[in-house]
Structure 1
Amino acid sequence: MKILAISDMHLSTSAADALLSAAGAADLVIAAGDFANQHEGLEAYMARLFPIADKMICVPGNNESLRALQAATEAEILHGTSTMRGGLMIAGLGGGIPPLPPLPWKSWDLTEDQARDALAGVEAADILILHSPPAGLGDNHEGLGHLGSPALKEAMLRIKPRLCVFGHIHDCWGQGGTLGATRWRNLGPDPVWFDL
């Protein structure tokens, strides 16, 4: 399966254009959240992505809530849930995990315990889509240090997906590697191809 993946588009016209241009060759489009900017502009931006909604699976970021994303798109949204596409089991969880330090706007966050509970029912998956990084993987913010989630790392090690993608920490866009059986990548707003 040819998979096109992206995160942290933040209303970028060029990111949307690049995704729409490349998506025709994809069997599946994965978006790891943060379509909006501080909860603004989501509906119009998702309308722009409507032509690929039928092949897109996404999770909400911390710049849009689950409810707002559900109202703005016809794409499939995962949040503590799983789906099957092309013979691959795909699970996902959105939001900022752990909660960010206080900001001048309301980040859509989950606590570590909420993240553990949300993913407790996911026993296995080929792909794990997250918005926030697992602890120690593409999670180093220049000013705040490592912001990854221990709960998400525990879940990734337990679920053992072939691929785990996320975003959230802009300083680490493009970083990737392998941990155990899992290939991981902090995506960023430039579309990335995977073949599973």
Structure 2
Amino acid sequence: MKILAFTDLHASRTHLKAIYKKADKADIIVCCGDFSVFESEAERILAMLGKLKKPVLIIHGNHESEEYTKKVAEQNNLTFLHKAFFEQDGYVFAGFGGGGFSIQDPEFEQFGHTIQLYPKKKKLILISHGPPKGCNQDLIDKDHVGCKSRRDIIKKLKPDLVLFGHIHETFHVHDRWDSTLLINPGPDGELIEL
């Protein structure tokens, strides 16, 4: 499977063009939130993403509300993946949007318990906006600023792939925790082959 993942587009036309150029090579497209600037131009961005002839999974970041993103995503035939699942080709995508600033996230912890109920035969891809604490992608001025709850759930569930953004300083940085690949794909996106 080829996944085109991106994050923190922030309504950039330049980066949206880059996504369009890479989309033909992907089987599925994943947005890890912050596609707008506090919902400015959100409808335009999601309408453009809706024109891609691929499944597009989307979560909200800290620049969009859950309710607004869900409404506009549904209007554009996009799959809103907050606290939800999507299956394709033996993979299950589990999404959790919003946030990015909390050290602990009880709501995410509860979602982690829900993920555990999913059949283990599928390969798991976890999508969130903010990073887990302690990875190469949560460093700002040598301090780890990620979420402990995300770290703990990832270490427990061991998904095959974790996609997230939020920290602009670490776009296109990869990390590996045992068998789990962690990627901040940046606003111009990365094509990931599994």
> In which range does the TM-score fall when normalised by the shorter chain?
0.7 to 0.9
Q: Percent identity?
A: 29
1:33 to 2:26 alignment: no
Q: What's the Cα RMSD here?
A: 1.9
For the residues of structure 2 that align with 1:54 and 1:26, how far apart are their CA atoms? 8
1:51-106 per-residue CA deviation (whole Å, 9 max, x = no partner) reads 12751112111100121111112211212222211221111111124449xxxxxx
Q: Is the 8 A contact 1:134 1:151 kept in 2?
A: yes
Aligned match of 1:112: 105
- Say which SS state the counterpart of residue 30 (structure 2) adopts: strand
For the residues of structure 2 that align with 1:16 and 1:136, how far apart are their CA atoms? 30
Task: List gaps (5 residues or longer) in structure 1.
Answer: 101-110
For the residues of structure 1 that align with 2:126 and 2:133, how far apart are their CA atoms? 15
Q: Is the 8 A contact 2:29 2:54 kept in 1?
A: no
**What does 1:37-56 align with in structure 2 at a 5 Å threshold?**
37-52=37-52, 54-56=54-56
Q: Displacement, 1:39?
A: 2.7
- Say which SS state the counterpart of residue 115 (structure 2) adopts: coil
Aligned match of 1:134: 132
For the residues of structure 2 that align with 1:82 and 1:93, how far apart are their CA atoms? 10
Aligned counterpart for 1:80 among listed residues 80, 83, 102: 83
1:178 to 2:176 alignment: yes
For the residues of structure 2 that align with 1:117 and 1:88, how far apart are their CA atoms? 21
1:136-194 per-residue CA deviation (whole Å, 9 max, x = no partner) reads 1211234x942200101111112211111100010111111110110111121122111
For the residues of structure 2 that align with 1:13 and 1:189, how far apart are their CA atoms? 10
For the residues of structure 2 that align with 1:55 and 1:81, how far apart are their CA atoms? 15
1:92-132 per-residue CA deviation (whole Å, 9 max, x = no partner) reads 111124449xxxxxxxxxx6112212332001552111110
Aligned match of 2:161: 163
Q: Displacement, 1:44?
A: 1.7
Aligned match of 1:58: 58
- Say which SS state the counterpart of residue 72 (structure 1) adopts: helix
**What does 1:142-157 align with in structure 2 at a 5 Å threshold?**
142=141, 145-157=143-155
Q: Is the 8 A contact 1:30 1:57 kept in 2?
A: yes
- Say which SS state the counterpart of residue 10 (structure 2) adopts: coil
Normalised by the length of structure 2, the TM-score is 0.88
- The count of corresponding residues between Structure 1 and Structure 2 is 185
For the residues of structure 1 that align with 2:28 and 2:179, how far apart are their CA atoms? 22
1:96 to 2:95 alignment: no
Q: Is the 8 A contact 1:81 1:122 kept in 2?
A: no
Normalised by the length of structure 1, the TM-score is 0.87
1:122 to 2:122 alignment: no
Aligned match of 2:13: 13
